[in-house]
Amino acid sequence: MFSPDTLPWTNSFASLSDDFYSRVTPTPYKTDARMLHFNPAAAELIGLQAENSNSPDLVKMLSGQSLPQGSDPLAMLYAGHQFGHFVPQLGDGRAIMLGEVSHEQTGKWELQLKGSGLTPYSRDGDGRAVLRSTIREYLCSEAIHSLGIRTTRALAMTGSDDEVYRERIETGAILTRMAPSHIRFGSFEVFFYRNQFEQIRTLADYVIEHHFTELKQPELQQQANPYLALFETVMRRTARLIAQWQSVGFAHGVMNSDNMSILGLTIDYGPFGFVEAYQPGYICNHSDHSGRYAFDQQPEIGLFNLSCLAQALLPVLMESEDDSPDKAVEMAKDIMTQYQPLYIKEYAGLMRAKLGLVEAMPEDQTLLQELLDLMQQNQVDYTILFRKLGDFRSDETQNHELRDLFLDREGFDQWSSRYAARLAKENSNDSERKVRMNKINPKFILRNYLAEIAIRKAEDEKDYSEIDVLFKILQQPFDEWPEFESYAGHPPEWASDIAVSCSS
């Protein structure tokens, strides 16, 4: 029988001093643990076979009952700007990193158990995660990955009959997630606040050494400050990540700087949502009363978070003792000014592709904006519209299925004649365009109501079959899946009553 002891465990993060983390072990469930779901695709990344998911030792490890030999479990320290306010100490309050597993082809993966009990950073929390939020993260991280967007991955969900107390009594669960690193912007901010500048340098060196090896090329090191190059790379990855979120209609919901990955991954899934009836100011997080993290605010918030990171990096951006702090500020600012144009370029490129356009033309931005305005006025579903746009026929005066998505049909007709003219300008071929568009416009996203149905079945009947279905289609969201047509349709009316808010 497989034992997780046989995996090649290391923990490079633990080789840093304990300024950066606290050693802590998971707290097992009180009642019997079981595997609720296992992700063979993620398992493969660390050389784990799907059939090993039945191994009792693996279940024990993934439910915090036993530690694999060679692991060195810890909770990471970080701070962060939450809703614009600095919180000097956060840290993994309910996530424990078991260690890293290395794989020849895919590199090194940190394995974290989220919901595995108290840590020194738990503050008022209980260190646990409820089943419903675990299912949401499990499904959505796989959906985001399959949409081609970088994210932490979900390896497995374990559960038990243990109760967790929230507004009501709920079932607890543990998510095992994996990423090359879970280091956040806030991991740097905590040391800036404490005036521990050497730790900032150590952490930046660690990140470059282990995760940005391209910054170690001798040419780069000679010409430029490696910490500035690090900041620039993070800026670029963040701009790209958020442009991708916007293009698929993903709202993260809690873009606090402690929820921003230094690797540019989507991390910490909580009250996220996908835009359905198009509304640029969509707020998915029920507790976000001011709309700070509304869908259309995300690009701007990305820049705010980068400014938090820049501030934390200032002490190491000064190249020598003689450098004035002003020079470091100027260098950081120079990089930050590149963010918006870069974001716009990334977003425009993605949206052009969503419209099926190959060449870039000056009128594209207006064409897109006119469509988005019409969608907003007519409350047209974002995902359904773009998927159906692939069926647009340039030689038809009325594309009925598309047209019927709009109440203002004349408005759509006017737009569609401009679209047809624009397609003609690049001699676009309808059937080739459809093939291209279906590779970028997903048919399936994780709609809140779909997750909700899966959650209710799991909570009420311990029936995880709906998770199976969603997992399968969301792993291939560009496929047609004719047998699951209803999963691609409009949300039912009751979906508008679903409310999701911060940590649960």
- Which residues sit at the interface with Mg ion, rule CB under 5 A? 259, 268
Nearer to Mg ion, 268 or 466 (CB): 268
Give the interface with ligand AMP as residue ranges (CB under 6 A).
Answer: 90-94, 121-122, 125-128, 254, 259, 268, 270, 502-503
Nearer to ligand AMP, 99 or 270 (CB): 270
Residues known to be catalytic: 258
Minimum CB separation of residue 203 from Mg ion in Å reads: 18
Task: Return the CA Rg of the chain.
Answer: 23
Contacts 24+ apart (CB under 8 A), 138-141: 138/37, 138/39, 138/175, 138/467, 139/446, 139/451, 139/454, 139/467, 139/470, 139/471, 139/474, 140/269, 140/272, 140/446, 140/451, 141/177, 141/266, 141/269
Q: To which H or E segment does residue 420 belong?
A: helix 409-425
Q: Which does 3 bind (CB under 5 to 8 A by kind): Mg ion, ligand AMP, none?
A: none
3-state DSSP assignment of residue 105: coil
Q: Which residues pair with 21 in a beta bridge?
A: 76
Nearer to Mg ion, 133 or 448 (CB): 133
Q: Which does 325 bind (CB under 5 to 8 A by kind): Mg ion, ligand AMP, none?
A: none
Minimum CB separation of residue 128 from ligand AMP in Å reads: 5
Q: Is 115 left (phi over 0), alpha (psi -120 to 50) or beta?
A: left
20: Cβ–Cβ under 8 A, 6 or more apart, which residues? Answer: 13, 76, 77, 187, 199, 202, 203
Minimum CB separation of residue 72 from ligand AMP in Å reads: 20
Which residue minimizes CB distance to ligand AMP?
A: 125
Closest CA to 402 of 419, 379, 386: 386
**In this structure, are residues 19 and 194 in contact, taking their beta carbons and an 8 Å threshold?**
no
Closest CA to 385 of 326, 445, 335, 429: 445
Minimum CB separation of residue 342 from ligand AMP in Å reads: 26
Nearer to ligand AMP, 92 or 232 (CB): 92
Q: Which does 98 bind (CB under 5 to 8 A by kind): ligand AMP, Mg ion, none?
A: none
Q: Which does 72 bind (CB under 5 to 8 A by kind): Mg ion, ligand AMP, none?
A: none
Q: Which does 94 bind (CB under 5 to 8 A by kind): Mg ion, ligand AMP, none?
A: ligand AMP
Minimum CB separation of residue 157 from ligand AMP in Å reads: 16
Q: Which does 128 bind (CB under 5 to 8 A by kind): Mg ion, ligand AMP, none?
A: ligand AMP
Beta-strand relationship, 9-10 and 129-130? unpaired
Nearer to ligand AMP, 438 or 503 (CB): 503
Nearer to Mg ion, 137 or 268 (CB): 268
Minimum CB separation of residue 95 from ligand AMP in Å reads: 6
Nearer to Mg ion, 259 or 399 (CB): 259
**In this structure, are residues 248 and 354 in contact, taking their beta carbons and an 8 Å threshold?**
no
For 6-102, where are the alpha helices, taking DSSP H only? 40-45, 56-62
Cα 444 from Cα 383, distance rounded (Å): 8
Cα 393 from Cα 270, distance rounded (Å): 40
Minimum CB separation of residue 259 from ligand AMP in Å reads: 5
Cα 445 from Cα 276, distance rounded (Å): 10
